[in-house]
Amino acid sequence: MELHFEELLGKITDFIKSEAKTETVIGEQFELGEFKCVPVIKVGMGFGSGGGEGTEAKGKHGEGMGAGAGVGIEPIGFLVTKEDEISFLQAGKTKGLAAVFEKIPDLIETIAKSRKEPEVTA
């Protein structure tokens, strides 16, 4: 049994290059009034592999190999610019612009509910 570690690592690296982007995790940069907002993510990864072989007293031979990989992608905040000023807003904060982003799903749901026509009951 042969493990082509270099080939596997190349495929994993290609996957990370194509998927671990702010565009696929959070979305594209956007403008909010006078502010330009650029999402920022954190990517972490780990790899491991192992193998072994042995021969039993009766002459039976065995071998085994294994490999694993893990990737974690997390939005951590936004770079925000206004004219010539730049700042970083950490995700998860409940102040300022971050608080607005946390409330957007609730706001959309409220608007959607208010636009529904009332049901007619007999």
In a domain, 116, yes or no: no
Residue 108 belongs to a domain: no
Range of the domain at 45: 5-91
Rounded to two decimals, what is the model's pTM?
0.47
Q: Answer whether residue 47 is part of any domain.
A: yes
Per-residue pLDDT of the chain (122 residues; tens, 9 = 90+): 555 767 877 887 787 777 777 777 777 888 888 888 888 888 888 878 788 888 888 888 888 888 777 778 788 888 899 888 888 888 765 555 656 666 667 767 777 777 665 666 65
Considering the domain boundaries, does residue 44 fall inside one? yes
The CA distance from 89 to 91, in Å, is 6
**Domain presence at residue 107:** no
According to DSSP, residue 59 is labeled S
Within a domain: 113: no
Q: Could you give the number of structural domains in the chain?
A: 1
